[in-house]
């Protein structure tokens, strides 16, 4: 959730840290803080509540903080309310923790994650004379490091590894020690952390965009490892304190991809980047008119070995799984089960050895999805990760990896990563069907042709955005919105509803249209907006019938359908048309107007589109 940055080198640290935090603010924006050291001087800590610009103003854009080594943090509150005293960085000394200025503490640190046994550890430290000023688990872990550092008179690496053995939960830690000027020490377990290197400078961050402006050379620190970071060197250690070697990875993203590029919001920019994200992903999988999954390690023999598919994900990625379930089952005739990762990890589901468990995650660091992946592997299933971030934890731990090529996604509400995941899963479904012999050569060629046409058809949907902008102004004051559909249209409705509620704060729900009469229709009132997705020809008339039932009870209707279904206009108040495509792949097109509707409604309500309240981009805590 939270965002961490660090820098040590020859330049002033604070402006670099603020720049990195700005690029990570999508990870948390309850409060922010910096700790900077100027040579042997004590660390100077500055914190501010609210969004990052408060901290920037407080430090004159970082210019008022001298020093060339520092750490920074932007917070998404877990333990303790958003407040100055709970803001990071935290210190090992017994100070108030709420003000700005130099601190006498031996250890200063920032943290992303959750320390599950922090109450037990806090009680231990209280018995040893430590006092606490905040309600956070982070203060506990910083003081535990300080305790081992002093009790055993050991170095920072050994003090950190002793702490890691005692701590339960997830964490990415960045720490500075008074006795080690110019150095930063870091550790991680299940929360993302990368280390970047450049000439005479080193960086650390929760995510690549924070440091992409300064370097493309990064290390992905592994689980239960410690890093010692100096301006001209980076060393890694395991839990035993033994030095280990990690590969250096070059980031290939275009740095401009992490900028707004003239768009008012990242979300709008990323909506418009969907044709390219889908095209790049498909081009990585389709070669010479055939789908090639060998880059994911999936040979034809491997694909033939599966008798069942389990798809595990959270949020929008789960909605991708729901859409993929219909497509895979229809094309391959294999049973598909879609599970929320947060439920899958705690259920004792029978998993056969011939089951493929597909874990979908944009970041590749989603806590529940990572835990579900590990459960699946423990039970003997083959695992496939569909992720967007090379080198992420889920990508490293899965048996096979299918990378989407959406590039960096900054807005909290996902759009282009969702679309890239959809086309990747559709390509997987087609190839599995072809290998299993459930589709003919002719159908195989047709499906590949239809997949290849998706990017251009998404672009054509985007050309109709002005009508959606106008319509959103009419419904911006709605209190309730219902999205309905059947089959694949229901899966599309789930994502449309999520987009609306997470950025406009309007209560919205998605329902399988046939379920309306089993309770939900009692909620329909005069002018309640009901949005029907109508792309499946076999189910078209039934969904229209359900919408008309809502209209007779006062609902205002919007329909999303394919070109040619002009009879929809006889039943609904506002119609959006999308280009015709094979009905298996229509999700990639039908979701776009729903994304735009959510976006424009949020704008019309005067809300912060890219940073919706209480949400963070990458959910790395349970």
Give the residue-averaged pLDDT of 202-219.
Answer: 92
**One domain for residues 395 and 488:** no
Q: What is the pLDDT of residue 373?
A: 96
24-57: burial string, b at 16+ Cβ within 10 Å, e else: bbbbbbbbbbbbbbbeeeebbbbbbbebbeebbe
Q: What is the pLDDT of residue 81?
A: 75
Determine how β-strand 336-340 pairs with β-strand 400-403.
Answer: unpaired
- Condensed to tens digits (0 to 9), the pLDDT of residues 363-383 reads 898 889 999 999 999 999 999
Any domain includes 515: yes
**One domain for residues 184 and 312:** no
Chain centroid to Cα 199, Å, comes to 31
Q: Which is catalytic among the residues 122, 178, 189, 617?
A: 617
pTM: 0.80
- The mean-pLDDT minimum among 65-79, 460-474, 582-596 falls in 65-79
The residue from 442, 462, 482 where one domain ends is 462
The residue from 440, 462, 484 where one domain ends is 462
**One domain for residues 441 and 483:** no
Give the residue-averaged pLDDT of 2-19.
Answer: 95
- Condensed to tens digits (0 to 9), the pLDDT of residues 268-323 reads 999 999 999 999 999 999 999 999 999 999 999 999 999 999 999 999 999 999 99
Residue with tokens 């046939």: 514
**Contact of 289 with 448, CB cutoff 8 Å:** yes
Residue with tokens 């001298």: 66
Q: Is 391 helix (H, G, I), strand (E, B) or coil?
A: coil
**One domain for residues 226 and 291:** no
Give the residue-averaged pLDDT of 238-258.
Answer: 85
**One domain for residues 221 and 100:** yes
Calculate the alpha carbon distances from 489 to 62, 286, 322, 492, 590 in Å: 50, 26, 10, 5, 9
Q: Does the pLDDT of residue 621 top 70, yes or no?
A: no
Supply the Cα-derived Rg of the chain in whole angstroms: 25
Determine how β-strand 529-534 pairs with β-strand 480-485.
Answer: parallel
Residue 75, strand partner residues: 31
- The mean-pLDDT minimum among 169-183, 315-329, 540-554 falls in 540-554
CA distance 319 to 317: 5
Give the residue-averaged pLDDT of 595-609.
Answer: 95
**One domain for residues 9 and 121:** yes
**One domain for residues 275 and 240:** no
Model confidence at 28, in pLDDT bands (50, 70, 90)? low
From 180, 30, 183, select the one nearest 112 (Cα to Cα): 30
What is the extent of the structural domain holding 345?
Answer: 266-462
The residue from 201, 217, 251 where one domain ends is 251
Q: What CATH code is carried by the domain that includes residue 301?
A: 3.40.50.10490
Tokens of 462: 């985007």
Q: How many domains does the chain have?
A: 3
69 is catalytic: no
Any domain includes 614: no
383, HSE (Cβ side, Cα atoms, 13 Å) = 24
Calculate the alpha carbon distances from 243 to 163, 188, 307 in Å: 18, 16, 43
Q: Does the pLDDT of residue 618 top 60, yes or no?
A: no
From 331, 328, 360, 332, select the one nearest 344 (Cα to Cα): 360
From 198, 192, 82, 187, select the one nearest 141 (Cα to Cα): 187
Any domain includes 622: no
Per DSSP, 39 falls in state: T
**One domain for residues 497 and 428:** no
CA distance 78 to 54: 21
Residue 286, strand partner residues: 291
Q: What is the pLDDT of residue 36?
A: 96
Any domain includes 216: yes
Q: Cis ω on the peptide bond leading into residue 89 (within 30° of 0)?
A: yes
Per DSSP, 364 falls in state: S
Q: Does the pLDDT of residue 499 top 80, yes or no?
A: yes
Q: What is the pLDDT of residue 422?
A: 98
- Condensed to tens digits (0 to 9), the pLDDT of residues 567-598 reads 888 999 999 999 999 999 999 999 999 999 99
| Tally of helices (H runs) and strands (E runs) in the chain | 18, 28
Measured at the CA of 346, the angle between CA 341 and CA 349, to 5 degrees, comes to 90
Chain centroid to Cα 149, Å, comes to 35
**Contact of 505 with 491, CB cutoff 8 Å:** no
2 is catalytic: yes
Q: Which is catalytic among the residues 2, 69, 314, 550?
A: 2
Residue with tokens 């109709």: 464
Residues contacting residue 261 through CB under 8 Å, at least 6 positions apart: 269
Q: What is the pLDDT of residue 391?
A: 83
**One domain for residues 294 and 350:** yes
Give the residue-averaged pLDDT of 560-569.
Answer: 90
Any domain includes 477: yes
Residue with tokens 């046994």: 117
Crossing angle (nearest 10°) for helices 156-166 and 137-151: 130
CA distance 234 to 412: 31
**One domain for residues 522 and 379:** no
Q: What is the pLDDT of residue 80?
A: 64
Any domain includes 257: no
Any domain includes 556: yes
Q: Please provide the distance, in angstroms rounded to a whole number, between the alpha carbons at the two ends of the chain.
A: 10
Model confidence at 490, in pLDDT bands (50, 70, 90)? very high
Any domain includes 169: yes
**Contact of 248 with 217, CB cutoff 8 Å:** yes
**One domain for residues 148 and 274:** no
**Considering the chain, what is the average pLDDT of its residues?**
92
Model confidence at 96, in pLDDT bands (50, 70, 90)? low
**One domain for residues 428 and 540:** no
């Amino acid at each position: 959730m939270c965002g961490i940055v660090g820098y040590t080198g020859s330049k002033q640290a604070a402006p670099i840290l603020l720049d990195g935090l700005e690029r990570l603010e999508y990870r948390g924006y309850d409060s922010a803080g910096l700790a900077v050291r100027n040579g042997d001087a004590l660390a100077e800590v500055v914190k501010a509540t609210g969004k990052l610009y408060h901290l920037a103003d407080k430090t004159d854009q970082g210019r008022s903080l001298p020093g060339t080594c520092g750490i920074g943090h932007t917070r998404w509150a877990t333990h303790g309310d958003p407040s100055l005293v709970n803001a990071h960085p935290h210190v090992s000394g017994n100070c108030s923790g709420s003000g700005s200025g130099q601190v006498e503490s031996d250890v200063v640190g920032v943290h992303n994650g959750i320390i599950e046994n922090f109450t037990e550890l806090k009680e231990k430290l209280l018995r040893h004379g430590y006092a606490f000023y905040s309600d956070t688990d982070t203060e506990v872990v910083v003081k535990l490091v300080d305790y081992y550092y002093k009790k055993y008179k050991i170095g920072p690496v050994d003090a950190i590894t002793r702490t890691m053995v005692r701590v339960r939960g997830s964490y990415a830690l960045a720490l500075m020690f008074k006795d080690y000027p110019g150095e930063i020490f870091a550790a991680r377990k299940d929360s993302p952390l990368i280390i970047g290197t450049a000439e005479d400078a080193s960086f650390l961050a929760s995510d690549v965009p924070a440091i992409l402006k300064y370097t493309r050379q990064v290390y992905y620190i592994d689980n239960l490892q410690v890093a010692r970071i100096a301006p001209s060197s980076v060393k890694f250690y395991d839990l035993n304190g033994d030095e280990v070697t990690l590969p250096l990875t070059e980031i290939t993203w275009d740095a401009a991809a992490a900028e707004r590029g003239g768009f008012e919001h990242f979300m709008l920019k990323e909506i418009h980047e969907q044709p390219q994200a889908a095209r790049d992903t498909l081009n990585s999988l389709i070669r010479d008119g055939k789908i090639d999954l060998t880059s994911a390690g999936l040979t034809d023999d491997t694909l033939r070995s599966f008798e069942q598919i389990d798809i595990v994900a959270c949020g929008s990625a789960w909605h991708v799984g729901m859409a993929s379930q219909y497509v895979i089952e229809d094309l391959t005739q294999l049973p598909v089960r879609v599970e929320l990762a947060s439920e899958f990890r705690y259920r004792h589901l029978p998993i056969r050895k011939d089951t493929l468990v597909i874990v979908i995650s944009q970041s590749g660091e989603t806590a529940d999805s990572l835990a579900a992946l590990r459960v699946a592997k423990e039970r003997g299933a083959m695992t496939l990760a569909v992720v967007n971030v090379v080198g992420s934890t889920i990508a490293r731990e899965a048996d096979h990896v299918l990378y989407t090529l959406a590039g960096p996604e900054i807005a909290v509400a996902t759009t282009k990563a969702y679309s890239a995941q959809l086309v990747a899963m559709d390509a997987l479904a087609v190839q599995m069907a072809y290998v299993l012999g459930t589709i003919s050569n002719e159908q195989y060629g047709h499906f590949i042709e239809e997949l290849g046409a998706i990017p251009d058809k998404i672009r054509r949907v985007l050309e109709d955005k002005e009508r959606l902008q106008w319509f959103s102004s009419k419904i911006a004051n709605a209190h309730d919105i219902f999205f309905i559909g059947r089959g694949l249209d229901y899966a599309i409705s789930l994502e449309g509803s999520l987009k609306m509620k997470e950025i406009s704060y309007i209560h919205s729900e998605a329902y399988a249209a046939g379920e309306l009469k089993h309770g939900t229709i009692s909620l329909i009132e005069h002018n309640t907006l009901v949005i029907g997705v109508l792309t499946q020809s076999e189910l078209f008339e039934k969904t229209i019938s359900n919408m008309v039932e809502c209209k007779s009870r006062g609902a205002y209707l919007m329909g999303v359908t394919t070109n040619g279904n002009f009879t929809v206009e006889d039943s609904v108040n506002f119609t959006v048309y999308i280009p015709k495509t094979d009905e298996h792949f229509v999700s990639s097109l039908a979701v776009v107007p729903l994304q735009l509707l959510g976006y424009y409604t949020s704008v019309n309500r005067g809300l912060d589109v890219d940073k919706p309240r209480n949400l963070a981009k990458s959910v790395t805590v349970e």
